[in-house]
Amino acid sequence: MIALTGFLTFTVNYGLLFWGEQRIASGLAAVVQATIPVFGLVFAHVYLPSERLTVPRVIGVLLGLAGVAVIFSDQFHVAGPLALWGSAAVVAGAASTAYASVLIKARGAHLDPAVLSAGQMLCGWVPLIALGFVFEGNPLRFHWTHQAVFCVFYLALLGSALAFCMMYWLVRRVKITSIMLISLVTPVAAVVIGAWWLQERLTAHALAGGLCVLAGLGLVIFRRTPQPAEELPAGEVLENAEG
C-alpha cells in the first residue's frame, strides 16, 4: 500500500504536474490541480462509508473550484495541442493523488505518519530519479544557484516531509475529503502572500474568487451531518429507539 500510494502521489502526480505546468499557464494549472477534492469526493464515496457524497459537499467543492477559476480567470488560455496534453496531465495527476489519499484513509490510517511519509517518498523518488536521468541528464552537472538550492531544500523539508507528516497525522482525526480541500486554499494563500510579500495588486477577481472559496469551504466543513446510529453512544441509541 505504501509503495502504491507513494508512486501515485509523488511519481505520477508530481511528475505529471510539473510536466504539464511547462505547457500551460500557471493560473490554469492551479485551477486544474484544484480538482483534487472533486475526485476525492467520488473515491471516498466508494471506499469510505462515513464519507458519502452529499449535495452540500458537492456544492461546496464546486463553489470552491469556481472561486479558484475566478481568481485566475485572466490567465485562461490554451495554446496548441501540447497545452491540451499539459492540462490533461495535470488532471490525471490530481486524480491519482486523490485516489492515493483515499486509500491511505481507508487502509493506512493506522500507520505512523513519519513512516508513511518516508516510505512513500522513497518509493516515489526512485522512478522520478530514473526518469530525470533519462530526460534531463545528471543533476550533479546542473548549474545550481544558491536560490535553487534553497528552493529544493525548502520544498523537500517543509513542503514535503513536514507537510505530509502533518497531513497523515490529520488523516486519523479528520475526514479525508476535508483534508483535500487544501488544494482550494493554496491558490488563495498564494494570492494573499503575493499581495503582502511582493506588493502585488489584489484584483476584484481575486477578492471575489477568494470569497467563493471561503463560502465553499464553510459549506463543506462547518455543516453538521447526522451521525450514524452505530456510532452513537449506547444510551443515545436506546433513547432514539424508544422515541
The secondary structure of 163-223 as a DSSP string is HHHHHHHHHTTS-HHHHTTHHHHHHHHHHHHHHHHS-----HHHHHHHHHHHHHHHHHHSS
Whether 231 is covered by a domain: the verdict is: no
Amino acid at the residue 82: L
- Gap between the Cα atoms of 191 and 70, Å rounded: 12
Whether 84 is covered by a domain: the verdict is: yes
The number of folded domains in the chain is 1
Whether 234 is covered by a domain: the verdict is: no
Closest-CA residue to 113 (of 44, 51, 163): 163
> Does residue 146 register a pLDDT over 90?
yes
Task: Tally Cβ neighbours within 10 Å of residue 18.
Answer: 14
Return the pLDDT at 30. Answer: 86
Whether 102 is covered by a domain: the verdict is: yes
> Does residue 99 register a pLDDT over 80?
yes
Task: Tally Cβ neighbours within 10 Å of residue 68.
Answer: 28
Q: Which three cell numbers stand for residue 97?
A: 493523488
Mean pLDDT, rounded, for 117-141: 90
> Does residue 33 register a pLDDT over 50?
yes
Catalogue the long-range contacts made by 135-142 (C-beta closer than 8 Å, 24 or more residues apart). Answer: none
Return the pLDDT at 79. Answer: 61
Q: Which three cell numbers stand for residue 70?
A: 475566478
Q: How confident is the model at residue 197 (pLDDT cuts 50, 70, 90)?
A: confident
Backbone torsions φ then ψ of 36, nearest 5 degrees: -50, -50
Report the length, in residues, of the chain: 243
Whether 243 is covered by a domain: the verdict is: no
Whether 144 is covered by a domain: the verdict is: yes
Return the pLDDT at 135. Answer: 86
Residue at grid coordinates 494573499: 192
Whether 35 is covered by a domain: the verdict is: yes
Whether 119 is covered by a domain: the verdict is: yes
Task: Tally Cβ neighbours within 10 Å of residue 173.
Answer: 8
Please state at what angle helix 36-47 crosses helix 55-71, rounded to 10 degrees.
160
Residue at grid coordinates 463543506: 220
DSSP 50: T
Amino acid at the residue 29: A
Mean pLDDT, rounded, for 209-233: 71
> Could you list the residue range(s) of the whole structural domain that residue 36 is in?
2-224
The residues, any chain, with a CB within 8 Å of residue 128's CB and separated by 6 or more, are 10, 11, 14, 15
Distances from the Cα of 242 to the Cα of 72, 232, 234, 235, angstroms: 54, 15, 12, 11
Mean per-residue pLDDT of the chain: 85
